A and B are shown apart, each in its own frame.
Chain A
């Protein structure tokens, strides 16, 4: 076709800037660090000058504490407990959330039956259930896994549920007429269409798994970072609390990073936000 060459050029032209900008200057990439560094500097400056150090500790004191914790190995048992709870609770909640969200999203009938209950259950403050969870599942890891899974579930569920329901109706119609049915409709249409929402849910849910675990450990535990932070806070040891927070922060950041790497691979069919879609 006569237009083909022209269109080829158009497409290539539209794509080239993308590879160019990926190199991006170093300054641009390090820019997000600036607010964080400024905050730490301000904190360090305020501590002992504007606000008593006994209240807010200081970045240097927290760093020292972290060094102690890791160099003596004192933190490892707590770390192991909390990490196990986090990963188990997150995976369990995410798995159930995706499954239930997907099934209710596809079935008008089940959605109508169960949506009100799930919405109502979402309104219950899960934290209030922490003591009950301890009674039901014991002081060990199970109660924290359950609490964390419960919080993760809702975040993942709602995103996946509404994601499935927002799948472009016309695209599904076209797929139907093309002869795509049953398992293949899931494989080629619904699942890929829902994937961005699944990732959104997984990312939003990540901090909630931490909240679930820490609240559980605050309530009653024999080991864990939450317990360590609890003990630090009742003994007026803000450096201990912040050290715990720092470790949890790293967990969440690492989780987000891992998710975004997986997401970038899984969703590489999506147009980038720089918008390189050539016009008609």
Chain B
């Protein structure tokens, strides 16, 4: 899409196989039955865009525009009323286990210890016990959770639960990770720390990430590309490349050169969706 104007290391250059999109939304429509009557509520209508390998894509839209639904469609947990979702060229018809799905709630299993929670994806993939233990230890260290192996989720803070849910997904190395407002429920400080940690993990692993948020600032800070959705019936309003250098500063993003200009440009496109009566 764009040449990155950056000073980042070479592995950030568009990598191998980048030509074929990892995920494609092709003319997606999705309606939901209204609580009363036979009417349907058209949420998504004609959403088309694709996600390239190893890119960090943020999807931003006003609340209720069907952002989360798009991710449900990508995972195969739900199916579109019209159009198709393709994962690596194949139409998604069933639950896609190659995807990592991170929800707003940490959704750790409350009855499993932290260790077991992170180990579970490896258990179901029949990874031998010894290797499981090594990998879980490695990922817990990565997330700063060593020493809490035998804690149950309710004994961990919100930020720790969040990190645990992220490494539980990263541990099985899914080629595509979709995140549904993962930090929406966290306080501002914890959020910044999570941004830094996520950027570190991502820069290390270079997975393809699709990150849904309603927070434009978060999107611009994290992503390579922002997909803007409009209000329902939702389509793609714009797709914007974020040409900011990496590694990015999660704590003072506005201090990065070009950040303010980029943010203003994207906000200019987005504001009419947020403020309906504003004709700017």
Which residues of the partner chain B approach A280 to less than 8 Å between Cβ atoms?
157-159, 185-187, 190
A173's contact among B101, B147, B156, B197, by CB below 8 Å, is which?
B101
Number of A-B contacts (CB under 8 A): 98
A95: Cβ under 8 A from any B Cβ:
no
Most buried by B among A174, A189, A268: A174
The chain B residue with its CB closest to the CB of A195 is B111
Chain B residues near A173 (CB, 8 Å)? 75, 77, 101, 103
Docked-complex contact A177 and B96, CB < 8 angstroms: yes
Closest Cβ neighbor of B101 among chain A residues = A177
Q: Mark A255-280, 1 if CB is under 8 A from B, else 0.
A: 00000000000001111000011111
Instruction: A8 to B159: give the CA distance in the assembly, Å.
Output: 12
Residues B128-179 near A (CB distance < 8 A): 144, 147-148, 151-152, 154-160, 168-169, 172
User: Counting CB contacts under 8 A, is A249 at the interface?
Assistant: no
Q: Chain B nearest CB: distance from A27 CB in Å?
A: 30
Q: Is the CB of B95 within 8 A of A171?
A: no
B95 interface neighbour in A1, A8, A176, A193, Cβ under 8 Å: A176
Closest residue of chain A to B151 (Cβ to Cβ) is A11
Q: How far is the CA of A192 from the CA of B116 in the complex (A)?
A: 14
Is B109 part of the binding interface, using a Cβ–Cβ cutoff of 8 Å?
Answer: yes
Do residues B157 and A1 form an inter-chain contact, with CB atoms below 8 A?
no
Stretch in A28-36, A84-92, A179-187 with 4+ CB within 8 Å of B: A179-187
B151 to chain A, nearest CB (A): 7
The answer to whether A108 has its CB under 8 Å from any CB of chain B is no
Per-residue CB contact flags for chain A residues 1-43 toward chain B (1 = under 8 Å, else 0) read 1111001101100110000000000000000000000000000
Number of interface residues of A (CB under 8 A): 37
Q: Does B247 contact A (CB under 8 A)?
A: no
Complex CA gap A35/B239 in Å reads 71
Task: Check if B99 sits within 8 Å of A192, measured CB to CB.
Answer: no
- Which residue of chain A lies nearest to B121 when distances are taken between CB atoms in the complex? A178
The one of B111, B121, B148 that contacts A269, using a Cβ cutoff of 8 Å: B111
B105 touches A269 (CB 8 A): no
Interface flag for A129 (CB, 8 Å)? no
Residue of B nearest to A171 (CB): B107
Assembled-state Cα–Cα distance A11/B190 (Å): 16
| Assembled-state Cα–Cα distance A188/B124 (Å) | 10
Q: How far is the CA of A218 from the CA of B109 in the complex (A)?
A: 48
Q: From A278, which residue of chain B is reached at the shortest CB distance?
A: B157
> A188-B120, A277-B154, A280-B158 are contacts. A1–B109 as well, Cβ < 8 Å?
no
Q: Say whether B125 faces chain A, with CB atoms less than 8 Å apart.
A: yes
Q: Does B236 contact A (CB under 8 A)?
A: no
For the complex, give the distance between the alpha carbons of A76 and B52 in Å: 79
Nearest A residue to B178 via CB reads A177
Enumerate chain B residues within 8 angstroms of A171, measured Cβ to Cβ.
107, 109
Q: A174-B103, A179-B125, A279-B157 are in contact. Are A4 and B111 (CB under 8 A)?
A: no
Chain B hits for A14, CB < 8 A = 155
B77, B124, B185, B197: the one contacting A179 at CB < 8 Å is B124
Asked if B62 is an interface residue, CB under 8 A from chain A, the answer is no
C-alpha gap A188/B120 in the complex (Å): 9
Given A3-B193, A192-B111, the answer on whether A8 and B147 have CB atoms closer than 8 Å is yes
In the complex the two chains form, is A7's CB within 8 Å of B97's CB?
no
Q: Which residues of A contact B169 (CB under 8 A)?
A: 178
Q: Are B155 and A15 in contact, CB atoms less than 8 angstroms apart?
A: yes
CB of A1 within 8 A of CB of B193, answer yes
In the complex, A268 Cα to B154 Cα: how many Å? 11
Tell me, yes or no, whether B112 is within 8 Å of chain A by CB: yes
Q: How far is the CA of A170 from the CA of B72 in the complex (A)?
A: 11
Closest chain-B Cβ to A177's Cβ sits at a distance in Å of 4
CA distance A192 to B112 in the complex (A): 9
A268 vs B150: C-alpha distance when bound (angstroms): 12
Closest B residue by C-beta to A10 = B157
Instruction: Kindly report which residue of chain B lies nearest to residue A177, judged by CB atoms.
Output: B101
Known contacts A15-B155, A177-B96, A177-B99; decide if A188 and B75 are in contact (CB<8 Å).
no
Interface pairs (9), CB distance under 8 Å: A2-B193, A7-B157, A177-B96, A178-B172, A179-B125, A269-B111, A277-B155, A279-B158, A280-B158
Q: Which residue numbers of B lie inside 8 Å of A, CB to CB?
A: 75, 77, 95-97, 99-101, 103, 105, 107, 109-113, 120-121, 123-125, 144, 147-148, 151-152, 154-160, 168-169, 172, 185-187, 190, 193, 197
Other A-B contacts than A173-B77, A173-B101, 7 sampled, CB-CB below 8 A, are A1-B144, A1-B197, A3-B190, A178-B172, A179-B124, A269-B113, A280-B190
Interfacial residues, chain A to chain B (CB-CB below 8 A): 1-4, 7-8, 10-11, 14-15, 168, 170-171, 173-181, 184, 188-189, 192-193, 195, 268-271, 276-280
7 closest cross-chain pairs (CB), A and B: A280-B158, A1-B144, A192-B111, A271-B154, A177-B101, A269-B111, A179-B97
